């Protein structure tokens, strides 16, 4: 791993020595005006931001996506399996409302009433309207309204992008 060492950048007087700049052997001495020092500091700052700015969000995004999928597996998937898949999966004897919820494609496509899940948009997601019991014709599950905590979990999941580990297409 290359090390970067910059000496004498404390003030605006100049840079006495810069070494180890990505394997460039012997950028040993840059002396001179305040302008040179400012340029070197600016280049180093931009390079640092470019390296860490490009890596850090991706790592955070991967961690964040993993946490969101874990949330789905623990909080959302069990609800779908217990309350929805009986009527809204390929394994159902008869698929109701032309709506499948057992794959990523099926969630996005939805059924007769539009997309079941619109990632990031809770109110546009028919699934949420149905489980809130705000739709006159569609109150899901039909055996009784889910607990408010469960509804909040489903809303959070959709608001956070509806990440899941369902198969891309229905099995």
Query: Quick check: 165 pLDDT over 80?
Result: yes
| pTM exceeds 0.75 | no
pLDDT band at 49 (very low <50, low <70, confident <90, very high): low
Query: Quick check: 27 pLDDT over 50?
Result: no
78 alpha carbon, distance to own chain's centre: 21
**Rounded distance, CA 37 to CA 12, Å?**
6
Digit-coded pLDDT (tens) for 98-147: 999 999 999 999 998 889 999 999 999 999 999 999 888 889 999 999 99
The secondary structure element, H or E, covering residue 18 is strand 17-19
């Amino acid at each position: 791993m290359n090390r970067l060492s910059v000496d004498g950048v404390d003030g605006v007087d100049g840079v006495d020595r810069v070494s180890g700049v990505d394997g460039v052997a012997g950028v040993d001495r840059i002396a001179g005006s305040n302008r040179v020092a400012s340029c070197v500091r600016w280049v180093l700052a931009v390079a640092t931001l470019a390296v860490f700015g490009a890596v850090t969000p991706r790592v955070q995004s991967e961690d964040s996506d993993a946490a969101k999928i874990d949330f789905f597996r623990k909080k959302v998937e069990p609800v779908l399996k217990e309350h929805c898949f009986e009527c809204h999966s390929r394994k159902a004897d008869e698929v109701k409302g032309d709506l499948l919820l057992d794959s990523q494609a099926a969630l996005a496509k939805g059924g007769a009433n539009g997309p079941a899940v619109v990632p990031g948009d809770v109110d546009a997601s028919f699934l949420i309207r149905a489980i809130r019991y705000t739709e006159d014709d569609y109150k899901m599950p039909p055996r009784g309204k889910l607990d408010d905590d469960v509804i909040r979990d489903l809303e959070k999941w959709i608001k956070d992008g509806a990440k899941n580990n369902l198969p891309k297409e229905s099995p």
